[in-house]
Amino acid sequence: MTTFYVPLNRTSGIPLHRQIYDGCRRAIVEGMLRPGQRVPSTRALAQELDVSRQPVLTAYEQLLHEGYLEGRTGSGTFVSAALPDDLLRSETPQAERTPGIAPRRARQSASGDRKADGLGPFRMSLPALDRFPHTIWSRLVARHAHALSHAQMAYGDAAGLLSLRGAIAEHLRTARAVNCEAEQILIVSGSQAALRLVAAVLLERGQRVAVEEPCYPGARAGLGAGGAELVAVPVDDEGICVSSLNKLGRKIRAAYVTPSHQYPLGMSMSAARRFALLDWSLSQNSWLVEDDYDSEYRYVSRPLGALQGMDTHQRVVYIGTFSKVLFPAVRVGYLVVPPLLWERFVQAREAFDLFSPTLYQLALAEFLREGHFSRHLRRMRGVYLERRNALLAGLARHCADHLTVYNADAGLHVAVLLSRDANDTDVVQRMAQRGLTATALSSCYSGAGRRSGLLLGFGGSSERRLLHATGVLGEVLRDSA
């Protein structure tokens, strides 16, 4: 149990509940109480402060209401795992009412690097965890945990649970125009694991794999893990430059692409480029690896179908994930594997770590089957549209002199370009000092000709928080100019 000091002045005229509220809040802001820590019960704190229970109850209620504390049924009251927005606010009314507290700095010096909690505004790849239907999900997980049979507790199928594979296949056929059956779906622990599998099955040491330039760094790490040679191929407004691919000469075994939402720049691959790419793979007898990591969210037109669905020659290995549409820690992703490669993929998957945890597969299959997944997706499209619009409005208001929005059509992040001479890594470091967790665009390049810019995730932050964060970003950019 955490104890902390709440100074009370009984002659100040300030109500006791207000003083208790201020003291608790200060303890949280200054890091004496850390996210996830349990706080004393109202009864224990009242006893310790020698006051009646009522002012403590009132103070806790307010802290719960503002998101500083969270209650967990049956186990007590805790400091919220996710920081409330106001902690990032330098001019909040509460901060004004609490002299001597500089919320942002105090919190950082107390807990060290804000990035460590991974939840600062602009954090990439973070969905709206606050909007996840926890109650439904926990009910499903609990139900399956209770009912787990001996067979389900034993070793599972390397390919994954057939009920889950069937539900995913149905979703992919209708929502993503993927041409697939349950028998082609291989469940893995997220797209990163899928990329490692692709490397293990398709890429021998020294063989060449084309990757987009700029590219998702995790793809480079995963595909190159077995010693394959990575060949960076530039992208233009239509996606990977097939003319450059054609000029590469010596055999390219596979090409990694993000056609629905190029990572990191954000554009989608044109239909003409998709056909050219499919022609290239056929003529070269090469594989295409399609990473469809966040294609469900598109704000300017209907979601585009997957490249895999346009492929009539079974050259595409398709990768999807639940990290963005549910939450990253669920660690469930999947591949749609061309029949010719199926046996090799299953064997390699088994060699890695046998199979994915059965309990989450059971819960997820039901989450899809009962319609919670499609409902969640529909709701989240509206939420993300509003978050993206708030980010764009904030950028226009606070940062327009220092950056240009490159693409904001889809996904959970916006790519912005800085002036050519701006050092984006330096800007990202300065942002981190102010509690913002952005990614430097230049970090996604492997060769010369790096563009300077920022990747600003908006999925994991409320509109209010994003608006405020763009104000801070504006200050950072002005200071760095």
Ligand X SMILES: Cc1ncc(COP(=O)(O)O)c(C=O)c1O
Q: Which is nearer to ligand X, 122 or 263 (CB)?
A: 263
Q: Which is nearer to ligand X, 4 or 132 (CB)?
A: 132
Q: Which is nearer to ligand X, 27 or 194 (CB)?
A: 194
Nearest distance from residue 123's CB to ligand X, in Å? 10
Q: Which is nearer to ligand X, 67 or 328 (CB)?
A: 328
The backbone region for 415, taken as left when phi is positive above 0, alpha when psi lies in -120 to 50, beta otherwise, is beta
Nearest distance from residue 294's CB to ligand X, in Å? 7
Nearest distance from residue 220's CB to ligand X, in Å? 11
Strand 254-257 to 287-291 pairing: parallel
**Signed CA dihedral, 317, 247, 252, 228: sign only:** negative
Nearest distance from residue 126's CB to ligand X, in Å? 9
Instruction: List Cβ neighbours of 202 (8 Å cut-off, separation of 6 or more).
Output: 209, 253, 254, 287, 289, 317, 341
Residue for token pair 């389900």? 152
Q: Which residues of 137-168 are buried (b: 16+ CB within 10 A; e: fewer)?
A: beebbeebeeeeeeeeeeebbbbbbebbbbbb
Q: Which is nearer to ligand X, 94 or 321 (CB)?
A: 321
Output the CA torsion 150→152→153→154 (10° steps): 90
Q: Which is nearer to ligand X, 335 or 416 (CB)?
A: 335
Nearest distance from residue 363's CB to ligand X, in Å? 17
Q: Which is nearer to ligand X, 51 or 235 (CB)?
A: 235
One-letter amino acid at 161 equals: L
Interaxial angle between packed helices 372-398 and 463-480, expressed in degrees from 0 to 180 and rounded to the nearest 10:
40
Helices (H), 67-133: 93-97, 103-111
Q: List Cβ<8 Å contacts ≥24 apart for 301-307.
A: 303/175, 303/176, 303/260, 303/410, 304/259, 304/260, 304/268, 305/176, 305/177, 305/178, 306/172, 306/176, 306/177, 306/178, 306/259, 306/260, 307/257, 307/259, 307/269, 307/274, 307/277, 307/278
In angstroms, the CA 260 to CA 251 distance is 26
Nearest distance from residue 105's CB to ligand X, in Å? 30
Q: Which is nearer to ligand X, 103 or 333 (CB)?
A: 333
What is the DSSP secondary-structure string of 291-302?
Answer: E-SSTT-BSSSS
Q: 227 — phi, psi (to 5°)?
A: 95, 10
Nearest distance from residue 135's CB to ligand X, in Å? 24
Nearest distance from residue 192's CB to ligand X, in Å? 4
Q: Which of 257, 299, 306 is nearest to 408 (CA)?
A: 299
Residues interacting with ligand X, by CB under 6 A?
125, 190-192, 216, 218, 258, 263, 291, 293, 321, 323, 328, 333
Nearest distance from residue 258's CB to ligand X, in Å? 6
Q: Which is nearer to ligand X, 224 or 328 (CB)?
A: 328
Nearest distance from residue 263's CB to ligand X, in Å? 4
Nearest distance from residue 430's CB to ligand X, in Å? 23
Q: Which of 115, 96, 32, 122 is nearest to 68 (CA)?
A: 32
Q: Which is nearer to ligand X, 197 or 473 (CB)?
A: 197
Q: Please report which helix (H) or strand (E) contains residue 321, including its range.
A: strand 316-321
Strand 403-407 to 316-321 pairing: unpaired
Q: Which is nearer to ligand X, 188 or 431 (CB)?
A: 188
